[in-house]
């Protein structure tokens, strides 16, 4: 009887252990619940009422804009559009003026003001902080393109190689010939150097002005004419223009609108004519 009772107890223990194993298979262990609210994560541990709150950590990588601004800023690709003209102080009765332009007088080189244009293309301009970004040094490199449209049929005679001849300028009096266009083009590679005064340093498009000088080198000159009988003609030469041009330069910034101006210190011709060119117009740039 004792043996039968012992066997029954053992069978019950084995059955109980199998029942626990089956229960585990059919009812998997509960998992933690996770809820995210904004920058917080709330975790409820399985089988408990306890909740754990974890805050996200934010990491910032500072850029130059977040930190101190650079003392050197660069503005790439700037365009100017304006007008070219000159002040003519030539003494046309002098021997040098008559040698360069025989028979010339004070009206020969009069310009069509609205059609004498100036277009500048600046590769870059840089501004270097000197005093609290209010006083800055500003400089750049670019091309100055000047077109002088004449009222009268002025023609430049280019020198001929291998024996160069002095340049002569004539007033074309050919009967029956009419001029649709007559212009002198003078193009310079130019470096401006200015002191800039930024009156509103905390604004991107503020108010201020700049003044200084520029040095230009004449790399191309040509006299282009379009006539009724010859059509389009183009003479390429330096026409004894000064290779180097030194000018006063200035600009004014009025918020998003910018103006520029230049005035040469000496005549644009090597001999004969005392003509000092100047330009003015609009500047399209970031600052």
Contact, 223 vs 239, CB < 8 A? yes
Specify the pLDDT at position 196: 96
CA separation for the pair 13, 240 (Å, rounded): 121
The strand pairing partners of 277, in sequence order, are: 86
Contact, 202 vs 237, CB < 8 A? no
Query: What would the pLDDT profile of 179-208 be if each residue is shown by its tens digit?
Result: 999 999 999 999 999 999 999 988 878 899
CA separation for the pair 131, 82 (Å, rounded): 32
Of 241, 237, 243, the closest CA to residue 161 belongs to 237
CA separation for the pair 181, 121 (Å, rounded): 24
Contact, 152 vs 184, CB < 8 A? no
The strand pairing partners of 166, in sequence order, are: none
Specify the pLDDT at position 204: 79
Residues of the chain short of pLDDT 50, as ranges, are 7, 14, 18-19, 21-24, 58-65
Specify the pLDDT at position 113: 87
Specify the pLDDT at position 13: 55
Cβ count within 10 A of residue 152: 13
Contact, 157 vs 167, CB < 8 A? yes
Specify the pLDDT at position 43: 65
Q: Where are the domains of the chain?
A: 26-59, 72-284
């Amino acid at each position: 009887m004792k043996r039968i009772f012992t066997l029954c107890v053992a069978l019950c223990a084995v059955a109980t252990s199998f029942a626990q194993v089956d229960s585990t298979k059919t009812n998997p262990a509960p998992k933690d619940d996770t809820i995210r609210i904004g920058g917080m994560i709330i975790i409820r541990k399985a089988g408990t009422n306890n909740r754990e709150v974890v805050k996200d950590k934010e990491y910032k990588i500072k850029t130059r804009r977040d930190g101190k601004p650079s003392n050197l800023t660069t503005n790439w690709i700037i365009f100017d559009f304006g007008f070219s003209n000159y002040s003519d102080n030539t003494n046309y009765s002098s021997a040098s003026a008559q040698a360069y332009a025989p028979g010339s007088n004070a009206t020969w080189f009069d310009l069509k003001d609205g059609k004498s244009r100036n277009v500048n293309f600046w590769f870059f301009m840089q501004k270097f902080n000197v005093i609290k970004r209010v006083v800055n040094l500003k400089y750049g490199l670019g091309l100055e393109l000047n077109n002088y449209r004449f009222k009268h049929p002025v023609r430049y005679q280019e020198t001929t190689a291998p024996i160069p001849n002095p340049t002569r300028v004539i007033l074309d009096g050919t009967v029956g010939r009419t001029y649709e266009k007559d212009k002198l083009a003078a193009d310079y590679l130019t470096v401006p150097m200015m002191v800039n005064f930024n009156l509103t340093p905390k604004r991107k498009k503020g108010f201020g002005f700049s003044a200084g000088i520029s040095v230009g080198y004449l790399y191309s000159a040509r006299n282009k004419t379009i006539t009724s009988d010859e059509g389009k003609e183009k003479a390429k030469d330096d026409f004894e223009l000064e290779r180097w041009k030194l000018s006063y330069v200035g600009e004014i910034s009025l918020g998003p609108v910018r103006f520029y101006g230049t005035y040469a210190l000496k005549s644009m011709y090597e001999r004969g004519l005392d003509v000092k060119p100047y330009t003015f117009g609009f500047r399209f740039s970031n600052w």
